[in-house]
Structure 1
Amino acid sequence: MISTGTIRTVVGIIGNVISFGLFLSPLPTFITIVKKRAVEDFSPVPYLATLLNCMLWVVYGVPFVHPNSMLVLTINGIGIFIEALYICIFFAFAPRRLRLKILSILAAELLFVGVVLGGVLGGAHTHDKRTQIVGILCVIFGTAMYASPLSIMKMVVQTKSVKYMPFFLNGACWTAYSLLRFDLYILIPNGLGALLAAAQLFLYFIYYRTTPKDDTKQNLELPQIVPTNAPEPLSSLTIEK
């Protein structure tokens, strides 16, 4: 008989694969940036937000904060690397004023994560306390990220078109992961993500037939929702109709 732990590991691996795909979803945007050697109207904020999100989940997943969270740790570690690469590309082709903005936000994020890490190590002396402190922060930032599709859902209702509808499977997978060995801090943001995904599918079936058919390609940069266990993301998606 397959144990619950084995099933949880398999689900976590699937979640890692899906999250990895979400991390790679902005690649077309960055290929465009490199080819044109300009960031144009693209914003670095979604990538900076996803980087912060991943850093917090890495802190959550390290053994001295929340033991036995290797799958949470690995995918968000990969996320840090990918988002850092995106930000470096963005920085290379951004005008000076935008570069300064990127540096200031990045410095603030690193300082914040450093304070969190120092605070839990110095002020919380048990795994439960450390998990609670970091977990609450992950819930706050993860919930904010998963709520980002709400504006897109509103647009779908107003336009009666699904051309702006992203689909996020990440939340459902990590929700199952959190329930197999109960983890409230993973469950809350990803449970919300799963509910939003269900709402998006519902809207898709309602408005699919009313989506206007045209030959014009339209792109919309959306916040990345990532992983997680974490939150996954957020990266940007390029939606084409």
Structure 2
Amino acid sequence: MESLLLHRILPFAFGILGNIVSLMVFLSPILTFYRIYRNKSTGEFQSTPYVFSLFSCSLWIYYALVKTHSVPLITNNAFGCLIEATYITMYLIYATKKARIFTIRVFVLVNVVAFAAILLLTQPLITGTKRVTVLGWICVAFSLSVYAAPLGIMMRVIRTRSVECMPFNIPLFHMLSAIAWFGYGLFTDDVYVELPNVPGFVIGVGQMVLYAIYRKKSGAVVDAAEHEVKVAQPTPSPASVRQHIVRIAEHVVRMVELDPTLDSEPQVIAGENDREKKKKIDVAEPPLISTPELDNHDDKKKKAKEENDMGVKKPRIVVEHIINIRELISVVA
């Protein structure tokens, strides 16, 4: 019973757990690629980590096939190959020409040339258990080199005192993945699976400690910045905006009404038909006898007619704008 637990049940359980957590690790950059898809541009994102991750998954599949009886390793890294290939394809679609050429060159160099060289080295030249040993150490060496990226991120967090470049979920999933695969290697007596997950666990714990240290400091800086913006640029209330519009509109109306060259009363504008009727009436009237009183009356009439004509020539647009502004004031107020 104890042998069954140690050699069957626990390896299977840790293998399933490793597959689940590793899937979360593979999917952790999905927000980055959603941003690339939304912006239709890769921006400053680099494709190199995904190219090397695809190479690592391919190596572990080859190792599991040579060793045999390592189904959890095969399924886990098969998912990884599929996801990383999808990321690389999306990157090539939205990258610039220069970045696309660089990605293709690195992809061919690593995933074609280097992988073919490993196949040629291990297939015809090395046989039996030595092949598993050589492949195991190659996988360990490459897995350890991959940890250079998390170490660089940790140094950046310490230097900038900010965790913006290190979300909490990524180190958490890496730490859980290292625990799961270390347990799988321990209960299957596979030292090549155990070794790379020891530094993986240590780095994951270190990242979480850094996150706990600098998270509050980063949050304090962000809160202070937000408070400063709110004080410097207060958001106006709807009531203050409405009062401001009313004051501006009233000022415009007052300035137009005080202008002596403009007439704000629309009723002074006589229509063409009214003037024509007036002219017809004036023509139809019989001539009057000239007297001083009549002459004085004619002068007043002529002056009034000139003032009326002047009012007719005043721009109608100004009068219409005054009416519209007054209506705006009544609606807003």
Is it true that 1:177 corresponds to 2:195 in the alignment? Answer: no
**1:55 maps to which of 54, 58, 73:** 58
Deviation of 1:163 (Å): 4.0
Cα distance in 1, alignment partners of residues 117 and 161 from structure 2:
46
Deviation of 1:180 (Å): 1.3
- Cα deviation, 1:3-27, whole Å, max 9, x if unaligned, reads 1121111111111111111111111
Matched residue, 1:108: 109
Cα distance in 1, alignment partners of residues 29 and 48 from structure 2:
13
Q: Which amino acid aligns with 1:46?
A: P
Cα distance in 2, alignment partners of residues 164 and 151 from structure 1:
11
Q: Which amino acid aligns with 1:73?
A: I
Deviation of 1:75 (Å): 0.9
Matched residue, 2:217: 210
Q: Contact (CA 8 Å) 1:146, 1:189: kept in 2 or not?
A: no
- Specify whether residues 89 and 160 from structure 1 end up closer, same or farther in structure 2 by C-alpha distance, changes over 3 A only: closer
Matched residue, 2:88: 87
- Specify whether residues 158 and 37 from structure 1 end up closer, same or farther in structure 2 by C-alpha distance, changes over 3 A only: closer
What's the C-alpha RMSD, in Å, of the aligned pairs? 2.0
Cα distance in 1, alignment partners of residues 38 and 156 from structure 2:
31
Deviation of 1:59 (Å): 0.9
Deviation of 1:139 (Å): 0.9
Instruction: List runs of 5+ in structure 2 lacking aligned partners.
Output: 226-333
- Cα deviation, 1:114-146, whole Å, max 9, x if unaligned, reads 2212321211220x2111111111111100112
Instruction: State the secondary structure of the residue aligned to 2:120.
Output: helix
Cα distance in 2, alignment partners of residues 86 and 158 from structure 1:
30
Matched residue, 1:122: 124
Deviation of 1:208 (Å): 4.1
Cα distance in 1, alignment partners of residues 178 and 76 from structure 2:
14
**2:19 maps to which of 12, 16, 19:** 16
Matched residue, 1:150: 151
Q: Which amino acid aligns with 2:47?
A: P
- Specify whether residues 200 and 36 from structure 1 end up closer, same or farther in structure 2 by C-alpha distance, changes over 3 A only: closer
Deviation of 1:70 (Å): 1.0
Q: TM-score, normalised by structure 1?
A: 0.81
Higher RCO, Cα 8 Å, sep 6+: 1
Matched residue, 2:34: 31
Deviation of 1:148 (Å): 2.2
Cα distance in 1, alignment partners of residues 99 and 212 from structure 2:
40
Highest Rg: 1 or 2? 2
- Cα deviation, 1:66-118, whole Å, max 9, x if unaligned, reads 11111111111111111111111111122222222222111112121122123
Q: Which amino acid aligns with 1:194?
A: F
Which stretch has the larger CA shift, 160-169 or 67-76? 160-169
Higher helix share: 2
Cα distance in 1, alignment partners of residues 194 and 41 from structure 2:
39
Cα distance in 2, alignment partners of residues 158 and 95 from structure 1:
30
Q: How does 1:225-240 map to 2 (within 5 A)?
A: none
Is it true that 1:196 corresponds to 2:196 in the alignment? Answer: no
Is it true that 1:3 corresponds to 2:10 in the alignment? Answer: no
Q: Which amino acid aligns with 2:113?
A: L
Instruction: List runs of 5+ in structure 1 lacking aligned partners.
Output: 217-241
- Specify whether residues 69 and 211 from structure 1 end up closer, same or farther in structure 2 by C-alpha distance, changes over 3 A only: same
Aligned length: 213
